[in-house]
Amino acid sequence: MPLEPIDLREIDKRAANIYEAIVVAGRKARDLNDEVKLEFENRLKDVVGTVVDDDAEDFNNPQQRSLSAEFEKRDKPHIHALKQFLNDEIDFGYKGKEK
């Protein structure tokens, strides 16, 4: 996966400061990561002969390997969250303040 540099001025335009942008993108990335984990666990339950166990990995199951490879090829949650932030797809604000 090639690296794509991001101009910090683009990030700074969309938030009061760069640190606020990092917090917003980080929280969105955590939400996206939770969604991906849930989706992976649900799809893993459908794989025949697979027991969901965090400590053990079954390397002999080709369905499980292909499912894992599919999820590995996706954009990582922090990259996806940053892209959403730069495309103004994340609505954020302070508690108690109206936008």
* pTM of the predicted model over 0.85: no
What is the signed CA dihedral for 77, 55, 61, 30, rounded to 10 degrees?
A: -10
pLDDT for residue 53 is more than 80: no
| Confidence band of 4 (pLDDT split at 50, 70, 90) | confident
Find out whether 14 and 62 touch, Cβ atoms under 8 Å.
no
Of the chain, the end-to-end C-alpha distance in Å amounts to: 37
C-alpha distances in Å from residue 21, one per residue of 3, 13, 37, 66, 92: 20, 10, 24, 35, 10
C-alpha distances in Å from residue 13, one per residue of 5, 27, 90: 16, 19, 14
| Alpha helix segments (H runs only) across the chain | 8-13, 18-45, 62-73, 77-86
For residues 2 and 88, the model is more confident at 88
- Lowest mean pLDDT across 7-11, 31-35, 54-58, 94-98: 54-58
